[in-house]
Structure 1
Amino acid sequence: MRTSACSFSNTWSAPSRSNLCFRLIQACLSHRCASIDPPTSYVLRRRSHHYPSSAMSGTLTALELGVLAGTVLYGVTTTQTFSYTDSGKTDSLWLKSFVRLTLLETIHTAFSWYYLHTLTVTDSDNSTTVAKVDWSFAACVVIQDCLSAAVQSYYAYRIYLMSRRFAFSIAQWLGSLLRVALIFVLLSFTIHAPSFEAVIMQHQNIAIAAISTSTWVDVLNTVMLCCTLFEHRRGGMKHTVRTIDKIIIWSIETGLVTSVLAIAILIVMLVFPQAGVWEGLMMIYARLYSNSLLVSLNARGYLRRSVELGCSEFIGTSVVLVPCELEASSGATLVRIDVT
Structure 2
Amino acid sequence: MDDPAVPHTTIGVCLIGALVSFMLFGVMTTQTYIYYKRFPDDSLKLKALVAFVWTCDGVHTLCVGHLLYVYTIYDNAHTQGILGRPAPKSYETTIFFYGVTGAIVQGFFSFRIYGFSKKLYLCILIYVLAFLRLLATIASLYVGLRMTSLAKYLEQEVWRATAGWAMGTTNDLIITSTLVVILHRRRKDAFRRTAALVDQVILWTLETGMLMSVTGIISLACFVTMRENFIWFAIFLVEAKIFSNSLLASLNSRETLRAINDQNISLSLSRATPSTIVYDGEPAKMAGVNGNVV
Asked whether the two chains share a fold, i.e. TM above 0.5, the reply is: yes
2:197 is the counterpart of 1:264: no
Change in Cα spacing, 1:188 to 1:103, as seen in structure 2 (3 Å) is closer
What does residue range 208-287 of structure 1 map to in structure 2 within 5 Å? 208-274=162-228, 276-287=230-241
Runs (4+) of structure 1 exceeding 6 A deviation are 328-331
Match of 2:97 among 143, 155, 160: 143
Between the aligned partners of 2:68 and 2:172, the Cα distance in structure 1 is 29
Deviation at 1:193, TM superposition (A): 3.1
Change in Cα spacing, 1:214 to 1:54, as seen in structure 2 (3 Å) is same
Verify the 8 A CA contact 1:159 1:224 in the aligned structure 2.
yes
Verify the 8 A CA contact 1:197 1:275 in the aligned structure 2.
no
Residue 57 of structure 2 is matched in structure 1 by: 105
Between the aligned partners of 1:261 and 1:298, the Cα distance in structure 2 is 23
Change in Cα spacing, 1:113 to 1:312, as seen in structure 2 (3 Å) is farther
Deviation at 1:231, TM superposition (A): 2.2
2:39 is the counterpart of 1:69: no
Verify the 8 A CA contact 1:160 1:169 in the aligned structure 2.
yes
TM-score, normalised via structure 2 length: 0.85
Any idea what the Cα deviations from partners look like across 1:116-140, whole Å, max 9, x if unmatched? Answer: 1101111225732465322011111
Instruction: In structure 2, give the amino acid aligned to 1:183.
Output: T
Change in Cα spacing, 1:204 to 1:126, as seen in structure 2 (3 Å) is closer
Aligned residues: 274
Unaligned regions of 5+ residues in structure 2, if any? Answer: 268-280
Unaligned regions of 5+ residues in structure 1, if any? Answer: 1-52, 314-327
Instruction: In structure 2, give the amino acid aligned to 1:113.
Output: G
Residue 38 of structure 1 is matched in structure 2 by: none
Choose 1 or 2 for highest CA Rg.
1
Between the aligned partners of 1:290 and 1:250, the Cα distance in structure 2 is 15
Between the aligned partners of 2:124 and 2:266, the Cα distance in structure 1 is 32
Q: Write 1 or 2 for the structure with the bigger share of helix.
A: 2
Deviation at 1:309, TM superposition (A): 1.9
Residue 74 of structure 2 is matched in structure 1 by: 122
Between the aligned partners of 1:338 and 1:244, the Cα distance in structure 2 is 11
3-state SS in 1 of match to 2:72: helix
Mean Cα deviation higher: 89-98 or 285-294? 285-294
TM-score, normalised via structure 1 length: 0.74
Residue 40 of structure 1 is matched in structure 2 by: none
Deviation at 1:194, TM superposition (A): 2.8
Between the aligned partners of 1:329 and 1:285, the Cα distance in structure 2 is 42
What does residue range 1-340 of structure 1 map to in structure 2 within 5 Å? 55-101=6-52, 102-124=54-76, 125=78, 127-129=80-82, 132-274=86-228, 276-310=230-264, 333-334=286-287, 335-337=289-291
Mean Cα deviation higher: 294-303 or 181-190? 181-190
Verify the 8 A CA contact 1:155 1:221 in the aligned structure 2.
yes
Taking only the aligned residue pairs, the percentage that are identical comes to 26
Instruction: In structure 1, give the amino acid aligned to 2:74.
Output: T
Any idea what the Cα deviations from partners look like across 1:98-128, whole Å, max 9, x if unmatched? Answer: 0002122221111111111101111225732
Verify the 8 A CA contact 1:151 1:289 in the aligned structure 2.
yes
Change in Cα spacing, 1:229 to 1:191, as seen in structure 2 (3 Å) is same
3-state SS in 1 of match to 2:81: coil
Which gives a bigger RCO, structure 1 or 2 (Cα 8 Å, sep 6+)?
Answer: 2
Instruction: In structure 1, give the amino acid aligned to 2:218.
Output: A
